[in-house]
Amino acid sequence: MADPYSTLGVARSASEAEIKSAYRKLAKELHPDRNKDNPKAAEKFSAVTSAYDLLSDKDKRARFDRGEIDGEGNPTAPFGFGGAGASGFRGRPGQGGGFEFQEGGADFGDIFEGLFGGGAGRRGAAGGGFGGFGRGAPPQKGANVTYRLAVPFVDAATLAPQRITLQDGKTIDLKLPAGVETGTQMRLSGKGQQGPGGAGDAIVTIEVKPHPFFNRDGDNVLLDLPITLDEAVQGAKVKVPTVDGPVMLGVPAGASSGKTLRLRGRGFTGKTGQRGDQLVTLLIDVPADDPAIKALVEGWRDSRAVRTHLGV
């Protein structure tokens, strides 16, 4: 059975931040949109996602570390008996009829009550025998249900609501949180499976899809923008795509390739609620074999030492 720590390449003592960082790096490398011709990458992506789902849940991680569940979240022992220190069990509805352990000393009353329907009467300490017979465990909530939601890059940047269909067939509009990124988890209370103690939760893990020409750096959006030679030399107003729609950008006269211009407030919404910027890097696109351009610079030479800073 796969070890989720090995799958993510982290130590068992890894912090939540280290686990999240490892998952983000692997998810970016293995994302199906970037490996359309590599089915093995899709399998690995699914494996690292499952590993992150387990290790990012504090309860599941603790149970795995104690050997109570395997790397897929299934119980490792029949009837919920664990290793040293494990206590009574409580039935949890769901696949395989797994059981959830409780911390603390063993309560044999709960065990016998589960096996014989609570027929054994409670005997006080003065009467000898086992204390704790007849005490019922609180009813358990239903199992949590996990979902993965692929969100378009622009929607993630602008926090556009996402419509999702839950396991019960109901459709809801999901409001993305500020600071959303790949690996962000959202908990929908009471949207999981039903149980004796009420419904569990739905846990939605977000994947932000890559964009054809936008990239992300923290809360900033990056864009390489081609401009023509005359626009660079004389300056111009050019239309630029942003996550909010096209805007006009002023290119200063004498602009060089690599110059970066800033569009404030056109980036992702950060966790503080403040939006980042869009950073536009200019790239001068000179046409090949254009007679007019050749004639324009015929006999003209730029005498500047533009490579001196490189030592050549």
Is the confidence at residue 175, as pLDDT, over 70? yes
Please, which pLDDT band fits residue 86 given cuts at 50, 70 and 90? very low
Percent of the chain at pLDDT > 90 equals 46
User: Poorest-confidence range of 112-126, 209-223, 241-255, 276-290?
Assistant: 112-126
* pLDDT (mean) for 119-140: 51
Please, which pLDDT band fits residue 47 given cuts at 50, 70 and 90? confident
Q: How high does pLDDT run on average in the chain?
A: 81
Cα–Cα nearest to 243, from 271, 273, 207, 219? 219
* pLDDT (mean) for 66-70: 81
β-bridge mates for residue 283, sequence order: 226
Three-state secondary structure string covering the chain: CCCHHHHHCCCCCCCHHHHHHHHHHHHHHHCHHHCCCCHHHHHHHHHHHHHHHHHCCHHHHHHHHCCCECCCCCECCHHHCCCCCCCCEEECCCHHHCEEECCCCCCHHHHHHHHHCCCCCCCCHHHCCCCCCCCCCCCCCCCCEEEEEEECHHHHHHCCCEEEECCCCCEEEECCCCCCCCCCEEEECCCCCCCCCCCCCEEEEEEECCCCCCEEECCEEEEEEEEEHHHHHHCEEEEECCCCCCEEEEECCCCCCCCEEEECCCCCECCCCCECCEEEEEEEECCCCCHHHHHHHCCCCCCCCCCHHHCC
Q: What is the pLDDT of residues 152-170, one digit of tens each?
A: 999 999 999 999 998 888 9
Planar angle of CA 111, 106, 127, nearest 5 degrees: 80
Is the confidence at residue 200, as pLDDT, over 70? yes
pTM score, two decimals?
0.56
Rounded to whole angstroms, the Cα distance separating 151 from 206 reads 7
Percent of the chain at pLDDT > 70 equals 80
Is the confidence at residue 252, as pLDDT, over 90? yes
